[in-house]
Amino acid sequence: MVYEEPGLDPALRQIHAFKTICNISSRQMFSRTFKVIFAAAFCLSIATSLDNDSEVRVQDGEVGASSEIEERLRAEGHEGAAAEYQQLNELFHWAIENSDPKSLGETAAKVGKYTKEELEALRERQAAVREALDQFKNMPTEAEIMQDIISLLNNESTNAEQHENALLYLQEMVEPIDNANDLYGMGGIHAVLRKLHSPEESVRKAAAWVLGTAASNNPAVQGQLLGEGALEVLLAMTSSDTGAAQQKALYALAAIVRNNPDTRMAFYKAEGTAVLQKLLADSHLPLGMHKKALLLVGDLASDEKQAQGVGVGLNHEALVRGLLKFVQHRDLDTKEKTLRTIEMLMDTQPEIRDMLTGTLNAGHILRDAVLQLKDPMYSDEDSEYVQEISSIILRIAARLADNSKEEL
């Protein structure tokens, strides 16, 4: 497809610039586009009321998305993008139809007559607005932009920086579920998966971010990624990569397995639990990475609890041992997340209660954790949070005590 170079508006000129450099965000683009629409509506209504020598009429198809574009989008199956174009068109017509030229003209007359030069300036402004609207009609659709991004990712003659910028742009575009659902049919998932193998960490990070965003709370994309082998690639990346790329890989894994029994079981079969154990045991990782791993364990345990499953994938002594280490962490948020995860694991698996009361000596660790909460390093502002965490510890300790009595 070909984009015409706009000669007037910077926002539209940036859309054209994307074709070659992919260096603006979709939020910036669309927020500026909305400004063009409202500014145009305002200018047209003002110019109509003040310039009696030049009548302005808004013809069908002159602003917003034309019916031809809407029909083409719907024919291609892009209902979400078609609906957005229709809303923009209706919004602009509403602004024009609800303006009151007579009232605006009377108000202007009260503050004085416009000179010939001022009226000429208004005519020029009106012409500029019409030119901006003509350019707006030539804007590419979201589906067309996504297709161009995918083509760029498949073009090996482009460099790593272009790939990274294109992926970051795509990550924002797949936040709406309709766009995320279109990604697979466009060949986008396959193109993004290939970038997980890029030698550049920034490209791997951006690719994982795209997949995680598209898969978040989206069973259709979760299933597509499972079928394309994304789970195994992301597990390997989480286990062996470093820095931001590793964090985004874990983020994508969590998005794929959360609230989905099929991907969750596939995660267990692919030794995903062993990867989590490794992360929790690695003392060199930053706390933020440990928290992400804890959250994923907690999500898996919560899903098992809701599904009334047995959670066999989490029934590993090494994993529980890794969790207990964070019960003694000084960061209150980390401590709370760990304790709640242990509680959920106890709910789904009797074996975990046996581990905690037996070889792992959890009772001693819990007592130390309670004493730690009395440390003066925690301020008065933390008192309620500290009390809440103490309650969780005591609740777990009571359940372990009951479990010991049952064994006797």
Cα of 174 vs its chain's centroid, Å: 8
Lookup result for tokens 């304790």: 339
Tokens of 278: 């490794």
List per-residue pLDDT tens for the chain, 408 residues long: 333 433 433 333 443 444 333 433 444 444 444 444 444 544 444 444 444 444 434 444 444 445 666 676 677 666 666 666 666 666 656 555 555 556 555 555 544 556 777 777 777 877 777 776 666 667 788 899 999 999 999 998 999 999 999 999 999 999 999 999 999 999 999 999 999 999 999 999 999 999 999 999 999 999 999 999 999 999 999 999 989 999 999 999 999 999 999 999 999 999 999 999 999 999 999 999 999 999 999 899 888 877 765 555 777 788 888 899 999 899 999 999 999 999 988 887 778 888 888 878 888 899 999 999 988 888 888 899 999 999 999 999 998 887 655 543
Residue-level pLDDT at 387: 93
- Please return the burial class of 363, using the count of CB atoms within 10 Å of its CB with bins 0-12, 13-18 and 19+: middle
Phi, psi of 135 (to 5 degrees): -70, -35
Q: Please say whether the beta carbons of 166 and 149 come within 8 A.
A: yes
Residue-level pLDDT at 34: 45
C-alpha 231/C-alpha 272 separation (Å) is 9
DSSP state of 308: T
Residue-level pLDDT at 392: 95
C-alpha 171/C-alpha 166 separation (Å) is 9
Residue-level pLDDT at 172: 94
Q: Is residue 327 helix, strand or coil?
A: helix
Report the predicted TM-score, pTM, of the whole model to 2 decimal places.
0.69
> Domains plus CATH for the chain?
10-140 (no CATH), 141-270 (1.25.10.10), 271-408 (1.25.10)
Lookup result for tokens 């305002």: 42
pLDDT in tens, 280-335: 999 999 999 999 999 999 899 888 877 765 555 777 788 888 899 999 899 999 99
C-alpha 205/C-alpha 237 separation (Å) is 10
Q: Please say whether the beta carbons of 196 and 204 come within 8 A.
A: yes
